[in-house]
Amino acid sequence: MLIFAGLGNPGSRYARNRHNIGFLAVEAIARACRAAPWRVRFQGHASEASIGAEKVLLLKPQTYMNESGRAIGEAARFYKVAPEDVIVFHDELDLAPAKLRVKLGGGNAGHNGLRSTTAAIGNDYRRVRFGIGHPGDKTLVHPYVLSDFGKAEEPWVEDLCTACADNAELLAAHDDAGFQNKVHLFMEARGHGAVKRLGEKSES
């Protein structure tokens, strides 16, 4: 069993916020994999799907971002899932829009959802980081992440979520490099050339 957990805030007012791209990605995976209907479990909305050879719990914590770890920790304990089998999808200020990185462990970079998850299950879980860019001023970060994606951003957001869903089997097989490279090629073909291959030198 694997856990694919998207980070975000519950409710319609947050649905298209930059901070909710983790929810958007997990929802896209659920649709592509024809997952079971969402139901209330583990202080969140949960669904199950077979992705490749693996059974996967798809999870959207409903605890608000700052307490995401409560839901993820509860699900991980219930299924006895090791941290390396938990994949967390989240927004990343330190990556340019449309970029994607996959990493195991590492710092939380001030992300409260990651901080909460680390407190619940330790730091050795996998992260799929979606670049949303930085507003340029620290004081603007809070309103920026809690604002909706702009109309000009919607195409790459949709394409990035689609690419993740189409290649989720690679994530389930622990082929993080293959997953990231496939997403890179898809985004490049769609005209979003910002995403680099795993292992390429980058600013973060």
Domain extent listing, the chain: 2-189
pLDDT at 197 over 90: no
Q: Is 19 a catalytic residue?
A: yes
- In tens, the pLDDT along 130-148 reads 999 999 999 999 999 999 9
CA-nearest of 82, 94, 90 to 26 is 90
**Rg, the chain, Cα only:** 15
Average pLDDT of the chain? 93
Please report the sign of the dihedral spanned by the C-alpha atoms of residue 48, residue 58, residue 149, residue 133: negative
Quick one: pLDDT band at residue 200, thresholds 50, 70, 90? very low
Find the mean pLDDT for residues 45-63.
97
The CATH number corresponding to 2-189 among 3.40.50.1470, 3.20.20.80, 1.10.3720.10, 3.40.630.30 equals 3.40.50.1470
Q: Is the pLDDT confidence value at 51 over 80?
A: yes
Look up residue 194 and give its DSSP letter: T
Residue 196: pLDDT over 70: no
Among candidate residues 19, 90, 111, 192, the one labeled active-site is: 19
Give residue 93's pLDDT: 95
Q: Residues 65, 112: contact at Cβ < 8 Å?
A: yes
Residue among 74, 111, 70, 73 nearest 89 (CA)? 111
Query: What percent of the chain lies above the pLDDT cut of 70?
Result: 94
Q: How confident is the model at residue 77 (pLDDT cuts 50, 70, 90)?
A: very high
Helices 112-121 and 68-79, axial angle in degrees (round to 10): 30
